[in-house]
Amino acid sequence: MTQATEPRLIIGISGASGVAYGLSALRACRELGVQTHLILSRAAALTIAQETDLSVSDVQARADVVYKTADVGAAVASGSFKTLGMIIAPCSVRTMSEIASGVTSSLLTRSADVTLKERRPLVLMVRETPLHLGHLRTMVQLAEMGAVIAPPLPAFYAKPTSLDEMVDQSVGRALDLFGLSWAPVKRWGQDVGPVTGEA
């Protein structure tokens, strides 16, 4: 498969805590042969420095294509640029709220808006708790617009033995929404729990 015909996924990383989710999504797509188009918010650079030993350049090197957040004329800002959709992992409340308003000020939120208007999957791994009524109303608004709100919650039935396994399980389940099946995901009735077909 040539680079032009590989499936493409837009991966956004905002400034919310949980940059590990974005890193996991980049790794998963590489293993699955999915071309990644990465957008980092300005605040994401601070989170990368706080939560990892990586530089912004290190993170960018894990993507196939990288865009500057101010480049609102980039390919991913147009609906004619075909993608599987977009995942924002993690997604901050600010990013979520800007997408809901439709008044986008960066390539990150512009790309999300384009994903919605083209009726492609937009998965938002929102990282915030507790949630006040404004957050909840914004999530309802986004769900009504077609977005999927997918907070990265641990799946204890998968019996994770490390933080990495918990992160990968959440990311893998989010990637299911794009029709992508990643090997690390433990599935009920297949890998854990009662196996289908057993008496």
- 91-140 pLDDT, tens digit each: 999 999 999 999 999 999 999 999 999 999 999 999 999 999 999 999 99
Amino acid 5: pLDDT? 75
Residues spanned by the domain of 106: 8-176
Q: Of 155, 94, 85, 150, which is closest to residue 124 (Cα–Cα)? A: 150
DSSP assignment, residue 66?
E
Greatest Cα-to-Cα distance within the chain, rounded to the nearest angstrom? 58
Q: Is residue 142 part of a domain?
A: yes
Whether 63 is in a domain gets the answer yes
CA neighbor of 34 nearest in space, from 187, 182, 150, 195: 182
Distance CA(145)–CA(141), nearest Å, equals 6
Residue 6 and residue 35 in contact, taking contact as beta carbons nearer than 8 Å: yes
Considering Cα of 113, then 74, then 76, then 21, what sign does the dihedral take? negative
Asked whether the predicted pLDDT for residue 28 surpasses 90, the reply is yes
> Per the domain annotation, does 183 fall within a domain?
no
pLDDT band, residue 42 (cuts 50/70/90): very high
Interior/surface letters 157-168, b for 16+ CB within 10 angstroms, e for the rest: ebebeeeebbbb
- Collapse the DSSP code of 122 into the 3-class scheme (helix H, G, I; strand E, B; otherwise coil) and give the result: strand
Handedness of CA 58, 31, 106, 5 (dihedral sign): positive
**pTM for this prediction:** 0.94
For residue 197, tell me if it sits in a domain.
no
| 78 inside domain | yes
Query: Collapsing DSSP states into helix, strand and coil, what is residue 125?
Result: strand
Question: How many Å apart are CA 19 and CA 186, to the nearest integer?
Answer: 22
Report whether pLDDT(78) > 90: yes
The single-letter code of the amino acid at 112 is A
Which among 41, 42, 12 is positioned nearest to 25, based on CA atoms?
12
96: CATH? 3.40.50.1950
What was the pLDDT predicted at 195? 73
Tens of pLDDT, residue by residue over 152-191, are 999 999 999 999 999 999 999 999 999 999 999 999 999 9
Let me know if residue 198 belongs to a domain: no
Instruction: Answer whether residue 150 is part of any domain.
Output: yes
Query: How many other C-beta atoms can be found within 10 angstroms of the C-beta atom of residue 64?
Result: 17
- Total number of domains in the chain: 1
